[in-house]
Chain A
């Protein structure tokens, strides 16, 4: 039987996938010149912008699109048949965040590729594949689709990290990430298979219905239809799979080496796009399929959140390398995003999403400035930032603003309100201990953010290298400006984020 496909629903990933093919073809037939690099970058940028227009239009029309549904006759459950691909509010928010960050990553890539031997066709192809996965993932409503989308986000990134040929650090990063990823995927697949075995369905809504029909009651005299022990194992295993994506404890070890070894745009991609995708999947599984089992996963997530933010911040404290510091700080930020989910209150998902959106803006901005500074040469140590405010006032002020946002202090009001939203959710949910842990963590984090910010304004002893200009520089300037505009807008009117997240 032939399934009807709603092409309007899948327009966003479809555009990205088509553009990926176009880029590969163009690369094969265009001459290998500097201009081709720029052309490919612009084509990719156009593709991402076109894909970004899709969620904007879908949001304006307000329609809830669904496709790849189980045909009505084959559905075993009463009610509307489950679908594999649903475009709803959550999908649009996550899709838009991933694509908006994608625009910045493409701009950073244009600067990166202008001066290196990385093959541009492969680079942009892989980048578009990752974005296609990141857009598909929040729309997925069955386990198989989720796993495939998650792999589509991860696999191209290994290659991206290793594309800088003959670079030992890059190869090491790619290998490390590949190994951790494969292990976590295997673990997750095991959990997924258990969930399927327990409920007989892969569709998230069907799983929720099946589990709700067989309530988890440890003390019940009648043996429950779903064994609690097996369900717990399944939940923990699935959690573990996503924990890798968002670099949560205990799957956080790869972050430092991989971020540092990979080119800066890839690090930015990992810290925002790949992380957003991971959170989308986590939120979908926890709040759609396992909504009734919050008692089971809530405490686990809360403990993971506390461990993640503490580990990330403590590791970031001792870093001397800018990208490594951002790597560990983004691990810590993952912990803050996880925290409301651990309380599992009514407003938990909007709180997490609001934090994620604001985090995406400020973190991608920080990476954009780091990319700009790394072009000046040097090893991108924190000491290279000494006196940046006098050499390049605009990027320096932008970086200072992003760092203060990440620390959550005024004038970085967006980061502060993001933290307040999360704190409110935790306090309202009654998890006082988690709130205290997070409070202490914000203080620890402030130490390294403020130390870095202070370096920007300390006079440098060495004369500054003159910054280059050209298309690469202007791409970076646009990237920094985009991050800055978003962060300032969220600072002045945080309601923007809160209303779309809610």
Chain B
């Protein structure tokens, strides 16, 4: 359990002291590979019949003066995210083996990514409010450097925007957590969730939910707090975008499912309509913004805003169906958008740009594998039945059809209708982009590509190795959603007190 955190941390520490291993292309992949094996071992040994209870717990006091315990554990809703984190990090390193960033200094990049992995994994494992916050913060500085050092042209501004926005959210989150602590007297998430808000007055719950919710909403990101995201995603290097979209955004929605809703049920009930309203606004806004984009990476970034809107809508219903949809959507979005950003990075490497007009048409004819993968990822992202993206959106809308008792049903029916329009718009922009980019004739002569000329390389073996697991998982989860839902459902039922 601790090894999940210790392995990447030690890996990074070794690099800080000895510069040697960094030159070895497989170093990072090896370290994160060990972590992935550990995560898979946890998944295998995980007792599925008791998915609602945290397993493999570690609980030792760290800072008694603050009441902070080093309390880790894994249950049905954290297990998929932990595996996803380990998987995506490993795939990023596999991708890096061959596709070094142009700015060089691979050693620092490996260190940053490993520290990032520690923070992301720790966030999903923590069962102590302050420990959660500590891990939540750990990701900020490495991600800042990943964007600011290895990013695109406007990287400096994007990185500063990213870190200031998210720190503002974190500060609010901390205030909310401390408020919960001051009134409930414990930092133990398990006990707080079991208490179902007992001992916290309604006013305290609302204020705390507002503070925690705003803090997490910046991270998620929820419209209208999303403005850091397109810049950060567009400027970040490929591996940065993948981890940012695949894992970092999930930390926000995971926080809702893990802390805000179970610990503060009354606050959640009071503010859920607002959350739902902002969520559907995000869905529609994200889709419309996508329609107007001329840059591929920017478009994927805005599509994330829309997808996270579905996740937030699922959470806002406060029903088991909606919560399961949100957790499912989290994983599906991590897989699909991770793949999309990998492909977009591949396109950028070959064409030297991600601007749609300059990419030209006929990618399927020029680069058949890359074009097919792009098509696959887009189709999965727009929620084609049979692929992973479908279930998260469909179940979220289903949850909104029948929201929790105490929430206004007509209001959520409106949300459902607007969200439905959003799915149509999502389909529209992806199909429009695909028809423009992949179909048609390849332009004559050499467009893009720079010195490499017309002979663009199709998908390399390393890229294929990094992308195939994502494709396979997308199909598997699309055809067999119960694999994931059976894990998350017991926890959700326990949190919402429906069992």
Contacts and interface: CB of A to CB of B under 8 A. Distances in A.
Contacts of A409: 137, 140-141, 167
A7 interface: no
Interface stretch (B178-186, B255-263, B337-345): B178-186
B65 A495 contact: yes
A405 to B, nearest CB: 11
B405 interface: no
B179 A427 contact: yes
B66 A420 contact: yes
Contacts of B134: 410, 413, 416
A25 B168 CA distance: 56
B106 interface: no
A428 interface: yes
Interface stretch (A72-80, A256-264, A305-313, A442-450): A442-450
A397 B145 CA distance: 14
Nearest to B168: A443
Contacts of A502: 65
Contact of B63 (A411, A439, A494): A494
A440 interface: yes
B485 interface: no
Interface residues of A, number: 33
Contact of B164 (A420, A443, A454, A493): A443
B149 A457 contact: yes
Nearest to A494: B63
Contact of B178 (A413, A424, A442, A450): A424
Given A427-B182, A447-B160, A450-B163, A410 B175 contact: no
Interface string A417-455: 100110110011000000110011011001100110010
A443 B171 contact: yes
B179 A450 contact: no
A494 B134 CA distance: 13
A316 to B, nearest CB: 15
Interface string B40-62: 00000000000000000000001
A132 interface: no
B127 interface: no
Given A439-B171, A495-B65, A498-B66, A423 B163 contact: no
B384 interface: no
A interface: dominant SS: helix
B164 A411 contact: no
Interface in B106-147: 108, 115, 119, 130, 133-134, 137-138, 140-141, 144-145
A472 interface: no
A443 B167 contact: yes
Contacts of A442: 167, 171
Given A410-B138, A495-B64, A420 B163 contact: no
Nearest to B139: A410
A263 to B, nearest CB: 32
B388 interface: no
B189 to A, nearest CB: 17
Contacts of B179: 427
A238 to B, nearest CB: 31
A62 B141 CA distance: 42
A155 B178 CA distance: 42
A457 B66 CA distance: 34
B175 to A, nearest CB: 5
B174 interface: yes
B164 A446 contact: yes
B148 interface: yes
Nearest to A457: B149
Nearest to B144: A450
A413 B66 CA distance: 13
B172 interface: yes
Contacts of A404: 141
Interface string A390-422: 000000010000001000011101001100110
Contacts, number: 88
A499 B66 CA distance: 10
Nearest to B176: A427
Interface string A24-61: 00000000000000000000000000000000000000
A317 B273 CA distance: 39
A420 B174 contact: yes
A178 B313 CA distance: 62
Which of B63, B175, B179 has the most A CB atoms < 10 Å from its CB? B63
B171 A440 contact: yes
Which of A410, A428, A447 has the most B CB atoms < 10 Å from its CB? A410
Nearest to B135: A410
Q: How large is the interface on B (under 10, 10 to 19, 20 to 34, 35 or more residues)?
A: 35 or more
Given A424-B182, A494-B63, A439 B164 contact: no
A416 B137 contact: yes
Contacts of A416: 134, 137
A439 B144 CA distance: 20
Contacts of B144: 450, 454
Nearest to B61: A495
A495 B108 CA distance: 31
A341 to B, nearest CB: 18
A438 to B, nearest CB: 8
Interface in B447-482: none
Given A409-B141, A427-B182, A451-B160, A498 B171 contact: no
Contacts of A397: 16
Given A424-B181, A439-B172, A410 B141 contact: yes
A423 B167 contact: no
Contacts of B172: 439
Contact of A499 (B65, B108, B145, B174): B65
Contacts of B115: 411
Given A410-B138, A435-B175, A440-B171, A428 B65 contact: no
Contact of B145 (A354, A428, A439, A457): A457
Nearest to A444: B164
B175 A427 contact: yes
A273 B63 CA distance: 27
B66 A423 contact: no
Interface string A476-502: 000000000000000001110011001
Contacts of A427: 175, 178-179, 182
A409 B66 CA distance: 17
A340 to B, nearest CB: 13
Interface string A307-345: 000000000000000000000000000000000000000
Contacts of B65: 354, 421, 494-495, 498-499, 502
A454 B141 contact: no
Nearest to A428: B182
A499 B61 CA distance: 14
Contacts of B108: 457
**Which 10 pairs, one residue from A and one from B, show the smallest C-beta to C-beta distance?**
A498-B65, A439-B171, A410-B138, A427-B178, A428-B182, A443-B168, A410-B137, A495-B63, A443-B167, A494-B63
Given A427-B182, A439-B171, A499-B65, 18 more contacts: A397-B16, A409-B137, A410-B134, A411-B115, A411-B138, A416-B134, A417-B63, A420-B66, A420-B133, A421-B65, A428-B178, A435-B178, A439-B172, A440-B168, A447-B160, A457-B108, A495-B62, A495-B65
26 contacts: A409-B137, A409-B140, A410-B137, A411-B115, A417-B63, A417-B66, A420-B133, A420-B178, A421-B65, A421-B66, A424-B66, A424-B181, A427-B179, A428-B182, A439-B168, A439-B175, A443-B167, A447-B164, A450-B160, A454-B148, A454-B159, A457-B145, A457-B149, A495-B64, A495-B65, A498-B63
